[in-house]
Amino acid sequence: MIPIGSAAKIWIATGHFDMRKGMAGLSLLVQEHLQRLPFAGDVYVFRGRSGRLIKAIWHDGVGLSLYTKRLDRGRFIWPSTVDGAIQLTSGQMSFLLEGIEWRNPQHSWRPTSAG
């Protein structure tokens, strides 16, 4: 299980990637495209061109894990920049996985009085 809420940093790779890649291919993208160490314990998230599929890789010190999620409706919210990676908090990652706008989440209701 990916450690959302732990000390691991979460990075989303901006741009679109080939979602046919597996663990080895995505690790190579982390190393060459993002210039980071894929086995340092951080989580790296990639999105396909259609925006309905994401893949995340994470190395726990023992082995590499691959997490895949496809939305039935809608698209994952992704930054418009093309190159690089953006660090997310665990809360933002939770919103991202649910297909919610993670950059500026809004409360749908706030109480106005206690009674």
pLDDT, tens only, 30-54: 999 899 999 999 999 999 898 899 9
Q: For 108, which DSSP code? A: S
pLDDT for 23 = 94
* Per-residue pLDDT tens digits for 56-102: 999 988 899 999 999 888 888 888 776 788 898 888 888 888 888 77
**Distance (Å, whole) CA 44 – CA 47:** 10
**Residue 15: count of CB within 10 angstroms of its CB:** 17
Task: Report pLDDT for 108.
Answer: 54
Q: Structure tokens of 41?
A: 């314990």
What's the pTM value of the predicted model, to 2 decimals?
0.83
What pLDDT, on the 0 to 100 scale, is given for residue 5?
52
E strands, the chain, are: 10-13, 43-47, 53-59, 64-70, 85-88
> What per-residue confidence (pLDDT) applies to 11?
93
Indicate the domain borders of the chain.
10-97
**How large is the average pLDDT for residues 7-15?**
87
The token pair that represents 102 in the structure block: 């993670």
d(CA 76, CA 54): 8
